């Protein structure tokens, strides 16, 4: 009777790369079946160490592509992924442990800014933080718009002994217009760079944008929204300088963010700062 095959003491050349390729193809493989060869304990330890240096994870049962990497790849392929329930997401991640582990991975991506939780069709989903996802600052503006619309609708409630009320369409449009998440209006296309004629004065350009975005019922304008309306015709540094100059001249009033941490870093970079360092994210014209 042939004796048992002896375990290999030295790690064969190319074995780490071979096993890594198998793991990356499937997402995860059983650790006990990682090597097609029988390895001694020392060689097996060197195999797993080599796989770890190549960015793979070893759990109690599996060698796997890190769950965070698997989830990011899934987001890059599908743009938005359901995370309600998390048990369904777990089935899509090779070698995933309990649901609690998947929850931690989702929290890691969100806390590091690599993903955002988005509500669609009443369910929580995960997406990359692209322009399709509202920023914290935009959510703040939307909350203010919703509050204002609620106040308008409240005034239409029937009152005993009085005729029914409605609303002026233009007032509703002005309120909703404060929250512009759609594409740039065609009416603004003539202001794009490259048109013939002398360059517009940046002060006039910024003040005109503020005037165009304000509404009769809410004269405060979100400064990052002004930057988007300018569409690159004025740099961020020039925008801040113009706003500060106009405030010194009494033509504009700058106000700080209404809450804490509502602005993204990108939005904050577009806004002037108060002497105490507060971000001034809203502007109001003082001359009409």
Tens digit of pLDDT for each residue in 19-70? 999 999 999 999 888 888 888 888 888 888 888 998 999 998 999 999 999 9
pTM (two decimals): 0.56
- Among 66, 53, 68, which Cα is nearest to 23's? 66
| Interval 119-158: pLDDT, tens | 998 899 999 988 788 887 778 888 888 888 998 899 898 8
Q: Give the pLDDT mean for 103-120.
A: 93
The verdict on whether omega for the bond into residue 85 sits within 30 degrees of 0, i.e. cis, is yes
Whether residue 183 is predicted with pLDDT greater than 70 in this model: the reply is no
* More confident of the two residues 82 and 233: 82
pLDDT the model gives residue 283: 92
Q: Is residue 4 part of a domain?
A: no
Burial of 233 (0-12, 13-18, 19+ CB in 10 A): middle
pLDDT-derived band of residue 193, with 50, 70 and 90 as boundaries? very low
Would 191 be classed as within a structural domain?
A: yes
Give the Cβ contact number of residue 175 at 10 Å. 21
In a shared domain, residues 142 and 269: yes
Q: Looking at residue 217, what is its pLDDT?
A: 64
**pLDDT score of 259:** 56
Between the ranges 30-34, 86-90, 194-198, 203-207, where is the mean pLDDT highest?
Answer: 86-90
Q: Is the pLDDT of residue 196 over 70?
A: no
Q: What is the pLDDT averaged over residues 258-277? A: 77
Same domain, 181 and 71: no
- Strand pairing class (252-256; 57-58): unpaired
Q: What is the dihedral of CA 99, 100, 105, 109, to 10 degrees?
A: 110
**Residue 193 CB burial class (10 angstroms; 0-12, 13-18, ≥19):** exposed
pLDDT: is 279 or 4 the higher one? 279
Residue with the two structure tokens 């108060």: 274
**Rounded Cα–Cα distance for residues 265 and 256 (Å):** 15
What is the pLDDT at residue 143? 86
| Residues 112 and 196 placed together within one structural domain of the fold | no
Residues 35 and 156 reside in one and the same domain: no
**Full strand arrangement of the beta sheet holding 62-64:** 28-30, 62-64, 57-58
Give the integer Cα–Cα distance in Å for 67 and 57: 9
* Total count of domains within the chain: 3
Handedness of CA 92, 95, 100, 102 (dihedral sign): negative
Do 46 and 161 belong together in one domain? no
pLDDT of amino acid 115: 92
Residue scoring higher pLDDT (219 or 203):
203
Domain that holds residue 80: 67-127
Sequence-distant (≥ 6) Cβ neighbours of residue 115 within 8 angstroms: 71, 72, 75, 106, 109, 126, 127, 128, 129
Q: Is it the case that residue 216 has pLDDT exceeding 70?
A: no
The whole-number pLDDT of residue 261 equals 55
Whether residue 76 sits in one domain with residue 207: no
Mean of the per-residue pLDDT values of the chain: 83
Check whether 189 has a pLDDT greater than 60. no
- Structure-token pair, residue 84: 């309600």
Kindly state whether residue 185 falls inside one of the protein's structural domains.
yes
Residues 79 and 51 in one domain: no
The pLDDT of residue 101 is 95
Residue 7 lies in a domain: no
């Amino acid at each position: 009777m042939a004796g048992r095959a002896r375990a290999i003491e030295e790690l064969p050349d190319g074995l780490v790369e071979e096993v890594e390729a198998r793991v990356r193809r499937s997402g995860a493989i059983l650790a006990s079946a990682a090597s097609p060869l029988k390895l001694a304990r020392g060689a097996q330890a060197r195999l797993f160490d080599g796989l770890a240096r190549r960015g793979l994870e070893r759990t109690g049962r599996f060698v796997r592509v890190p769950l965070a990497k698997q989830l990011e790849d899934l987001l890059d392929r599908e743009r938005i992924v359901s995370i309600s329930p998390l048990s369904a997401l777990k089935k899509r991640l090779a070698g995933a442990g309990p649901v609690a582990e998947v929850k931690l991975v989702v929290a890691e991506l969100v806390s590091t800014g690599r993903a955002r939780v988005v509500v669609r069709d009443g369910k929580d989903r995960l997406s990359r933080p692209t322009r399709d996802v509202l920023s914290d600052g935009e959510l703040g503006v939307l909350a203010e718009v919703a509050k204002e619309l609620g106040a308008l609708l409240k005034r239409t409630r029937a009152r005993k002994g009085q005729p029914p009320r409605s609303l002026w369409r233009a007032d509703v449009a002005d309120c909703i217009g404060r929250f512009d998440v759609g594409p740039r209006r065609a009416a603004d296309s003539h202001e794009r760079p490259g048109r013939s004629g002398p360059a517009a004065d940046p002060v006039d350009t910024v003040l005109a944008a503020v005037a165009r975005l304000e509404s009769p019922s809410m004269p405060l304008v979100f400064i990052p929204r002004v930057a988007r309306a300018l569409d690159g015709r004025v740099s961020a540094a020039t925008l801040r300088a113009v706003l500060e100059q106009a405030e010194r001249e009494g033509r504009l009033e700058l106000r700080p963010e209404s809450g804490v941490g509502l602005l993204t870093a990108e939005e904050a970079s577009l806004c002037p700062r108060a002497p105490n360092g507060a971000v001034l994210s809203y502007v109001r014209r003082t001359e009409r």
